[in-house]
Structure 1
Amino acid sequence: MTRNELCRIACAISAAFLVAAPSAVLAVGGPSGTQVNFQRQGELGEVVVNPYDIAPLTAVIRNGGEVLLKAHVRIVPKKGGAEIAYDVGPTALRTYGGIPVFGLYPEYLNEIEVKWTKKTMAGPVEKTETYRIWTPPVYLDPSWTHGRPVKTFDTKIVTPAAKGFGDRLYLINNLLPESPKGSRAVWNNPTGGALQWNNYPQNAIVDTRGDVRWYMQPSAIYDPRSLNKAGIMMGFHQNEDGALTWGYGQRYVKYDLMGREIFNRVLPDGYADFSHAMAVGPDGHYFLRVSAADLKRADGTHVHTVRDVIAEVDSAGRVVDDWRLFEILDPNRSIVIKSIDQGAVCLNVDLEQTGKTLSAEQLARLEAKHAFGDIAGTGAGRNWAHVNSVDYDKADDSIIISSRHQSAVIKIGRDKEVKWILGAPNGWNGKLREKVLTPVDKDGKPIPCRIGKCEGDFDWTWTQHTGWKVDELSEPGISVVTVFDNGDGRAFKQPENPKDKYSRAVMYRIDEKKGTVEQIWEYGKNRGHALYSAITSSVEYEADKDSLLVYWASIGVQDKTGVNPVLTEFRRGGKDPVFEMQIRGSMGYRALAIDLGKAFKE
């Protein structure tokens, strides 16, 4: 056989192979690149559900090689369900390589109406299509929850959304019990700081019909066995770019609503135990509520402090400033510590201690024994401050903190000097006593107060949470502040009847030049013990609807019937909620409104 005949046979075999099995060539690259196998529903590319592994009710419709200019997405609601629809801009289309789909129902064949515009040589071409996406049920890891079923979330609509509020989406930041997979860890040898708390995350976004439309599957970023990947997820905020920031344990993080990681960082060396608060600052800065990992006290003792340091980090993760509150405030002020209910100190809920308080002798024994850790007490190295929120005031480059165990909201400048204290004047040392605001009525007349109790329509806040400035309602020298007044230890005492306790959402107007404070709105006192939340909880002003969102997050925490939080929203100044929803059988921390426009519009 000649060489030419051999060549003809070899070429014929090669040609036949290409016709019979083109995928074998394309799979290794081929003339057109890597092989792509997927089934298209429409004219665009594949549908990728849960593209970043932590948000199972999201998807991306890939662009299929097209240049998409804009899109509009509508999740067809269930019968009687809430509408979710939003525009998608070119930045988001490029970032996700296609059209982001947010707000799918779990365990459901979702129908998604998509209108998109693509770039062509002849000009923009618009197309409308319908896609169908099946989603699995909500799955967390609830097998250890005391032998009872857990649902994310079991909701009951008490007051249907009023006109103009039906499109609300609420992020609910709740907690499951600690996982046995990691609960045996001693986080801070020899005794714990905040990191001994390791409740499993239960975070979801619900609509005004009570349906879950997004939830976090934490396993990709959370591991209860790992000291650097566990801890309670707290401090959620939606940034102006639409992404979420929060922290847990030894980390502070930022992810967008699709689950895409922007950053996930370990706390800087020298600081530990993030919990409660991660405030958004200017130019990519964040204010983290942490602790000092190693403090040498005046008596020479080295301690790990508890919830009493604010660290400011820049966009590169560098610590550009910090506020060491044990040096700025008075860690030995004990009047509040001695009056709070020891049955519910933050997440340390012990029903056998309900109604009991600490005495001066007990506090002195802690000091004498050199007993330190996450325990209620005075002095650095104990839970004397329990700062549970921080806010940045751009008006004068200051921070505003809420100190639960001082029952005070406090403004502190960049120079570490206290500007004002919103809290009862009793027990402060002379320098700080001068910073306590004077209560006034609507006419500016001082309101008499004695031992924490004031006349007329004014009260201080007690073991409060979320002391935040409302920039939209404030003006130079005048700060409007919202606070969730938990109400434990009101007027420095426990009531004879525990059912007399109540919580409030409250708004104040502070005249910083005059040093006065006026109470301009409250809700909750009228409903008494029914909304009493001894711990956690939040209130936040929502500028888009001129409203206040209040989460009564720990109702029933000291009752044997279980915890049943309530979420309410009010028009500013309103006497009744425009929406109310109960979440049954789940321990709450905070809630916030979610704006899809921020997430996808660009």
Structure 2
Amino acid sequence: MKKKTLLSAVLSASLLVGIGATSALAMGGPSGPKVDYQTQGKIGAVKLNPYGFSPLTAIIMNGGYVLKDIKVTIVPKEGGQTISYAVDDQMAKTYAGIPVFGLYPAYKNTVEVSYTKSAVGFKDETVTEKYTITTSGVGLTPSGLLFQEGVPFGKVTVKKVDKEFADRLYLVNNLPGKMPGRSSQATWNNPSGGALEWNDDSFAFIVDTQGEVRWYFDKDKLLDPGNIYKTGIQMGFRQNKDGALTWGYGQRYVKYDLMGREIFNRQLPLAYNDFSHSLDNMQNGHYLLRAASSNTKRPDGKNVRTVRDVIVEVDENGYVVDDWRLFEILDPYRKDIIMTLDQGAVCLNIDASAAGHTLSEAELAEMDKNDQFGDIASTGPGRNWAHVNSVDYDPNDDSIVISSRHQSAMIKIGRDKQVKWIAGAHKGWGEKFKDKLLQPVDSKGNKIVCDDEYSKCPGYLNDEGGFDWTWTQHTAFIIDSKTNKDILYLAAFDNGDARGVEQPALADMKYSRAVIYKIDQNKMTIEQVWEYGKQRGSDWFSAVTSLTEYHDDKDSVVVYSATAGMQFDIAKGVPVGDPAPELLEFKWGAKEPSLQIRFEGTGIGYQAMPISLEKAFNHKK
């Protein structure tokens, strides 16, 4: 009996010490149900990771009160970045309390909140108080790959941040690569083709401008690598106007808010398969998905799954509104760019042993002869002839703008499925497209003369100034606030492979650019108004992925050179240097960035973008 009494006393004392003097704890028992968890402050308990997907979030439960006039501040580490935001009444009701976003991992966080609480029979009270919320470390499954350092997000180094951008939070979507046991080991075979086997690991996290991780999505809870309908590379992250995030993976597209609350998680409509790269939030609430056809009859009578060449419009409820079958709209047999691509880096299909190799006519013919279909750079429906990596909607004329990597072209297509214009080298386009090819002009509207096939223009060489097209580009994004029915501003990341429809003599002659164009849609002209990257040379070259995007809130341009540092020794067929993605933000028109953040040990980067907490938690503003 003495041992039992002593043990009880020790447990009781430990419990009281763990709770602390400012906490309350009540235990249920014969007297009826009671609150039997720790509470802090004047309203309720802290619910960490409330929906199971966002471990660095919490909800301070409302304790039965109605809350309003809420403000939240995450007290920073010494010298760190303060996160502070208002929460409207609607969001307080949605979460049954105060949503807390931006906790540091593996840290005892201090959270300051102010609010007004009310309840029938009680006098309204305005409260300012502090809560302590302890978090664990980042719990994602690491890739096990050699370049990964420590936690999955690797090393983040802030090289520069001007005061104007010091309050930024950036969502980063990176791809650590193939993971044995987690990547899919399946291909479509009825009909054949498609890109199902293209299923590497991926993750999304948010960093502040001090390089600290302040949020991540628990992809281990979302993905099921053993189920082909519930796995895939997470790509196409976009923050909607309601603050929630949309993206897709494999055979699904989803919407979750920053607290991890599921809004929807849907399988693609059955006529389409293999989502990747891009999900556009249309202004009317619909979504544009970059997918492919689940079953298409080719002119030769063969049935195939196509590869990255269909745009699908779905409404809020997932019903198909329209689609753009690009193998019927464009020319899937245009091979000029396909034959000059570096086969060592065809999007994320990185193969150092093929570095510097380009396709021959004989190899193209062999694919046709052997009925070889699937995720291979070649021509014709059922192969990766287009590789569309972005789509953006223009409400001014009910059209879409796509980026086709394997055609090195940005193309506008109407609702009637007719091509409006093509921004890209003129070489190889058939007669039906000749009047759709844009003419380069200078700032005064004077025609810029290029070579006979308009493949090499004055800016083709690695020097300052001049005009050049984009080559194997990503993210042809419309700058909405500067665009109207006549003039369209377009931002893109010019990756730079096959520049001038050729491979350079030396690999280190390659370079990438962030670039902005002004397109006069009546005169069918294109003017290059801004670029960055030539001066960085091959060290900043990103053969694949990456982003350039304008943001209204700060009149700025965000650039993510997502595979900078990853190069190949062509002679030996081996990689030289691991990818070290670099995130930059520029004031509009500036030649040098106001912010520069480098990521190491994180794998191949895909995209990055600022995140607004005002959109997420203050809908009424």
Which category of TM-score, normalised to the shorter sequence, fits these structures?
over 0.9
Task: Tell me the secondary structure at the aligned position of residue 28 of structure 2.
Answer: helix
1:112 aligns to 2:111 (yes or no): yes
Aligned-residue RMSD, C-alpha:
1.6
AA of the residue aligned to 2:325: R
What pairs up with 1:332-481 in 2 under 5 angstroms? 332-450=333-451, 451=453, 452-455=455-458, 457-481=466-490
Kindly tell me the number of residue pairs found equivalent between the two proteins. Answer: 576
What displacement does 1:117 show?
1.1
Q: 1:219 to 1:547 in 2, by over 3 A?
A: same
1:335-361 per-position Cα deviation (integer Å, ceiling 9, x unaligned): 000111000001111101101101122
Contact 1:198 1:224 in 2 (8 A): no
Partner in structure 2 of residue 528 of structure 1 = 537
- SS of corresponding position for 1:490: coil
- 2:595 corresponds to 1:594: no
Q: Taking structure 1 as reference, are residues 548 and 22 closer, same or farther at Cα in structure 2, changes over 3 Å only? A: closer
SS of equivalent to 1:141: coil
Q: Contact 1:115–1:128 (CA<8 Å) still a contact in 2? A: yes
Q: Give the residue type in structure 2 aligned to 1:23.
A: G
- Measured after TM superposition, the shift of residue 184 of structure 1 is 5.4
CA distance in 1, matches of 2:99, 2:406: 44
> Aligned letter for 1:577?
P
Distance 1:348 1:143 in 2: 17
* Cα distance in structure 1, aligned partners of 2:230 and 2:577: 32
CA distance, structure 2, for counterparts of residue 59 and residue 579 of structure 1: 29
- Partner Cα separation in structure 1 for residue 407 and residue 334 of structure 2: 8
Rounded to whole Å, the distance in 2 between the matches of 1:143 and 1:413 is 42
Task: Pick closer, same or farther for the CA change 1:159–1:23 going to 2, 3 Å.
Answer: closer
1:578 aligned to 2:590? no
Mapped to 2, the partners of 1:37 and 1:397 lie a distance apart of 57
Letter in 1 for 2:509: D
Instruction: State the distance in 2 between where 1:55 and 1:133 align.
Output: 14
> Hey, what does 2:166 align to over in structure 1?
166
Equivalent of 2:576, from 560, 564, 569?
560
- The one-letter amino acid paired with 1:127 is V
Opposite residue 567 of structure 1, the aligned amino acid is L
Distance 1:464 1:177 in 2: 21
Q: Which deviations, in whole Å up to 9, do the C-alpha atoms of 1:180-215 show, x marking residues without a partner?
A: 224352131276522212222221000011000001
Aligned to 1:53: 52
Q: 1:481 to 1:123 in 2, by over 3 A?
A: farther
Unaligned runs of 5+ in 2: 1-25, 460-465, 568-574
Residues 567 and 49 from structure 1, CA distance in 2 versus in 1: closer, same or farther, beyond 3 angstroms?
Answer: same
CA apart distance, 1:142: 1.3
Deviation at 1:232, TM superposition (A): 0.3
- Maintained 8 Å contact 2:193/2:383: no
Matched residue, 1:133: 133
Cα deviation 1:30-89 (Å, max 9, x = unaligned):
5xxx64321111111110111111110000000000000121000000011111100000
User: Displacement, 1:433?
Assistant: 1.9
1:502–1:524 Cα contact (<8 Å) kept = yes
| Counterparts of 2:75 and 2:152, CA distance in 1 | 22
- 2:405 and 2:528 map into 1 onto residues whose CA distance is 19
> Cα distance, 1:435 vs. partner?
0.4
In 2: Cα distance, 1:97 partner to 1:22 partner = 23
Deviation per CA, 1:288-333: give whole Å up to 9, x if none: 0000011110110011100000010011111110000000000000
The amino acid of 2:444's aligned partner reads D
Alignment match, 1:9: none
1:89 aligns with 2:88: yes
Residue number in structure 1 paired with 2:75: 76
User: What one-letter code is carried by the residue in structure 2 that aligns with 1:591?
Assistant: A
Comparing 219-228 and 554-563, the one that deviates more: 554-563
In 2, the alpha carbon distance for the partners of 1:148 and 1:238 equals 28
Q: Is the 8 A contact 1:194 1:275 kept in 2?
A: no
Structure 1 counterpart SS, 2:517: strand
Counterpart-to-counterpart distance in 2, 1:67 and 1:305: 53
Give, in whole Å, the separation in 1 of the partners of 2:148 and 2:518: 45
Name the SS of the counterpart of 1:491 in structure 2: coil
Identity %: 53
Deviations along 1:124-173, one digit per CA (max 9) or x if unpaired, are 42100100101101121115324854434334435321121000000000
Query: How far apart, in 1, do the equivalents of 2:361 and 2:314 lie?
Result: 38
Alpha-carbon distance between aligned partners in 2 of 1:393 and 1:295, rounded to the nearest angstrom:
28
Q: In structure 2, what is the equivalent of residue 175 of structure 1?
A: 175
Give the aligned partner of residue 61 of structure 2.
Answer: 62
1: CA distance, partners of 2:446 / 2:543: 32
- In the superposition, the TM-score normalised over structure 2's length comes to 0.90
Does the aligned pair in 1 maintain the 2:193–2:307 contact within 8 Å?
no
1:533-579 Cα offsets, whole Å, 9 max, x none, are: 00000011011000000000012333332111111110011010101
Is the Cα–Cα contact under 8 Å of residues 155 and 581 in structure 1 kept in the other structure?
no
- The CA distance in 2 between the partners of 1:22 and 1:471, in whole Å, is 57
Give me the whole-angstrom Cα distance separating, in 2, the residues matched to 1:171 and 1:96: 22
Are the counterparts in 1 of residues 397 and 485 from structure 2 also a CA contact under 8 Å?
Answer: no
Find the aligned partners of 1:156 and 1:227 in 2 and give their Cα distance: 33
Report the AA paired with residue 544 of structure 2.
I
Aligned partners of 1:48 and 1:283: how far apart in 2? 35
What CA distance in whole angstroms lies between the structure 2 residues aligned with 1:211 and 1:184? 32
- Report what 1:17 is aligned to: none
**1:340–1:22 Cα change, 3 Å:** closer
What does residue range 460-539 of structure 1 map to in structure 2 within 5 Å?
460-539=469-548
1:79 counterpart letter in structure 2:
E
Task: Give SS of 1:268's match.
Answer: coil
Q: Structure 1 length normalisation: TM-score? A: 0.93
Matched residues in 1 for 2:35 and 2:508: separation? 65
CA–CA distance in structure 2, aligned partners of residues 561 and 517 of structure 1: 36
Corresponding residue SS for 1:327: helix
Match of 1:102 in 2: 101
Alpha-carbon distance in structure 2 between the residues aligned to 1:519 and 1:237: 26
Q: 1:186 touches 1:192 (CA, 8 Å); kept in 2?
A: no
In structure 2, the residue matched to 1:142 is 142
- Deviation of 1:175 after TM superposition, in Å, equals 1.1
Q: Name the CA distance, whole Å, in 2 between partners of 1:282 and 1:322.
A: 17
Conserved in 2, the CA contact under 8 Å of 1:546 and 1:571?
A: yes
8 Å Cα contact 2:158/2:210 also seen in 1: no
Whole-Å Cα distance in 1 between the matches of residues 47 and 156 of structure 2? Answer: 32
Whole-angstrom distance in 2 between the partners of 1:562 and 1:223: 28
Q: CA deviation at 1:216?
A: 1.2
Correspondence list, 1:269-308, <5 A: 269-308=270-309
